[in-house]
Amino acid sequence: MEATPPQWTRLIELLKAELHLYRELADLIDKEAGALPKSDLTVFNRLLSEKQQLVRQLQRLERERSDWLAAHGPPGDSPSLKALIASAPQKFADSLENCRRDLAAATRTMERCNHQHRKMLQHCRGLTDDALRLLSRQLYVQPTYQSNGNLAGAGSGGLVLSGLA
């Protein structure tokens, strides 16, 4: 079924709304990064609630976009946005392509932020583990290696107590 101009306009509105929500999500992730070193649970809970709300809105818009593609897009099992843009009237194709490019950039930004946060969380967890070890006065056992490169076993005297890591 061929899409009418108002239907193309609706798709552009959906894509722009998605982009707006992704930008809001990026802002929340930046706030979360600022709160991570402080371990402020109140801030985390508030940000988590806001992120969940944004994700629900994004899921709703993505469903609407998928429904639009199914109803008006080129035939096929799962028409892509690129295929749709190729079949769109030129008057709408430029706006659609700009939205597609901006959404792809926003997705890459989210992936980069998630990667950085994962590293930061791993670092914070390591610091917490070290602090817990210090508080419980546990000694860290650091393995040594034999001359052939194999890990030395406890029975061979190959382990060294080094205090805290």
In tens, the pLDDT along 3-58 reads 788 888 999 999 999 999 999 998 888 888 777 777 778 888 898 899 999 999 99
Residue 145's SS3 state is strand
Q: What is the pLDDT of residue 6?
A: 87
More confident residue, 133 or 155: 133
**CATH, domain range 5-161:** 1.20.58.300
Whether the CB-CB separation of 92 and 14 falls below 8 Å is answered with no
Fill in the DSSP letter of residue 73. Answer: S
Tell me which H or E stretch contains 141. Answer: strand 141-143
Which structure tokens are listed for 127?
């610091």
Cβ burial 120-134 (10 Å sphere, 16+ → b, else e):
eeeeeeeeeeeeeee
Q: In sequence order, which residues have a C-beta less than 8 Å from that of residue 163 and are 6 or more positions away? A: 139, 140
pLDDT bracket for residue 146 (50, 70, 90): low
